[in-house]
A and B are shown apart, each in its own frame.
Chain A
Amino acid sequence: MTASPRTDALLGLAASQTVGPFFQIGFEGLYQNELTVPGLKGRLVTIRGQVFDGDSLPVPDAVIEIWQANSFGKYAHPEDQQDKPMDLGFTGFGRCPTDAEGRFKFRTVKPGPVPSSTETPQAPHINVSTFMRGLLDRLVTRIYFSDEDSNRTDETLNLIDPARRSTLLARPVSGESDVYVWNIVLQGHDETVFLDF
């Protein structure tokens, strides 16, 4: 068997394994579903939801991690060199385990648009990784906002079958201002679109 010289020179990647049922022991130190900090600019929002399995039962032992830009569309990361304001103390990272009913919740700021690989910036979105017992590799997806016009031109949303796009849209809850609902459905009707990059 021959491999290209380039590939030969690479070290072998570590493969993924499940977090199992006891991740709380290791993950609890970074549990953080309140991302807002004093003086944070932008529109503060709550995003809540539930995780469901293939029997439509809530998943009580999942953990959700989010990563997002601030309201200006700037990530708190050295490789984001855009000339946009930072928010002191806003890390953009959250981690929340699901409860006995499979529920999770984040309070954060609605992110601004960030650059895409085309001329048109990406619509505001939050990057999501989901880990749980039963998943030997994480599931990655994104949360978009259903009331955002720029979704129409979003590069990633447009790569998704239109019939399934709505699974990435968090929807405003009527009667509660600045609250959105977004569920993760692992299988079946309304199965969430999961991404790879």
Chain B
Amino acid sequence: MLPLLRGYRKPSAGLHPPHLCPDYKSSVKRAPTHALVQIPQTLSEITGPVFGPRHLKVGADLTVQGKGEALGQRILLTGRVLDEDGRPVRNTLVEIWQANAAGRYYHSVDQHDAPLDPNFVGNGQLLTDDEGRYQFKTIKPGAYPWRNHPNAWRPAHVHFSLFGPAISTRLVTQMYFPGDPLLPYDPIFNGIRDEAARQRLIAQFNWDTTVPEQALGFTFDIVLRGRLETPMENRL
């Protein structure tokens, strides 16, 4: 007899942005036109890849990836990965990537006329600790222009990729900075229709984690789908 499996709560409708967001031009030819087909959660959906230290290819300090120090405002990004019930998501892989201080990505496709920093690649990986905590040291990314609409600029952001315990909890998102004047104009950020959900993607400045003479502290907690209370029926 197999133990009963516990599935994951579904996000409320409207939490995640719709696939089709006409203000975000590249969604128009890429968003499916049919509704998603709802399927039951099975062992396939409540399992997912398990990562360990051997999977980490880069560190959590993005300021020391080159021969010299990266340019820009040093920041310490800390937070916790939790489920909806407030339980820590332990030992889960977090990947981040971002533009440099000038708003330029270390990527051949990025042709923005802003300087590359030879000492900054802009990628980080770590596993959360037993309390679900993480800490990256990095550079505050710059805003950058894009071609979505005339004079379009992305607000400064850090891309976050998280796995959690199952493919049901897989999440890719972006972290924004408080007080960014570009946020009201950004179709990606505003693709999230729920005001409170948008606010949750904005990190908070944190005096307590600010390192004197070193780095400004920002806190960003990330909540992944929590467990259903009732086990699912799954048989062999």
CB distance from B89 to the nearest CB of A (A): 11
CA distance A164 to B32 in the complex (A): 13
Taking chain A's interface residues, is the majority helix, strand, or loop, or is none over half, making it mixed? loop
Chain B stretch 159-206: residues in CB contact (< 8 A) with chain A: 159, 161, 165-168, 170-174, 188-189, 191-192, 194, 196-198, 200-201
> Contact mask A1-15 → B, CB, 8 Å, 1/0?
000000001111111
Contacts of B67 in A (CB 8 A): none
CA distance A57 to B233 in the complex (A): 42
Taking chain B's interface residues, is the majority helix, strand, or loop, or is none over half, making it mixed? loop
User: Is B48 in contact with A67, judged by CB distance below 8 angstroms?
Assistant: yes
Chain B stretch 68-99: residues in CB contact (< 8 A) with chain A: 82-86, 95-97, 99
Contacts of B45 in A (CB 8 A): 127, 197
CA distance A54 to B235 in the complex (A): 40
By CB atoms of chain B within 10 A, which of A18, A55, A78, A91 has the most? A18
CA distance A28 to B96 in the complex (A): 11
CA distance A92 to B200 in the complex (A): 32
Contacts of B109 in A (CB 8 A): 21-22, 61
CB distance from A84 to the nearest CB of B (A): 10
User: Is B31 in contact with A186, judged by CB distance below 8 angstroms?
Assistant: yes
CA distance A34 to B30 in the complex (A): 27
The size bracket of the interface on B is: 35 or more
Chain B minimum-CB-distance residue to A76: B50
CA distance A38 to B161 in the complex (A): 30
User: Is B44 in contact with A25, judged by CB distance below 8 angstroms?
Assistant: no
Chain A stretch 67-91: residues in CB contact (< 8 A) with chain B: 67, 69, 75-82, 91
User: Is B50 in contact with A12, judged by CB distance below 8 angstroms?
Assistant: no
CB distance from B232 to the nearest CB of A (A): 6
User: Is A93 in contact with B49, judged by CB distance below 8 angstroms?
Assistant: yes
Contacts of A42 in B (CB 8 A): none
Chain B stretch 18-47: residues in CB contact (< 8 A) with chain A: 18-19, 21, 24, 26-34, 36-47
Known: A15-B197, A82-B2, A193-B37. A24 touches B107 (CB 8 A): yes
Could you give 18 example pairs across A and B, Cβ below 8 Å? A15-B194, A20-B159, A25-B121, A29-B125, A30-B55, A30-B95, A115-B236, A116-B42, A119-B235, A129-B167, A135-B27, A136-B16, A137-B18, A137-B19, A142-B44, A156-B39, A195-B36, A195-B37
Q: Which chain A residues have a beta carbon within 8 Å of chain B's beta carbons?
A: 9-30, 53-55, 57, 59, 61, 65, 67, 69, 75-82, 91-93, 114-119, 121-122, 125, 127, 129, 131-140, 142, 155-156, 159-160, 164, 186-188, 191-197
Given contacts A15-B17, A136-B24, A140-B167, 20 further A-B contacts (CB under 8 A): A10-B226, A11-B84, A15-B194, A15-B201, A17-B188, A17-B192, A25-B105, A25-B107, A26-B97, A26-B161, A80-B47, A82-B2, A122-B44, A125-B44, A131-B172, A134-B31, A159-B37, A191-B33, A197-B10, A197-B40
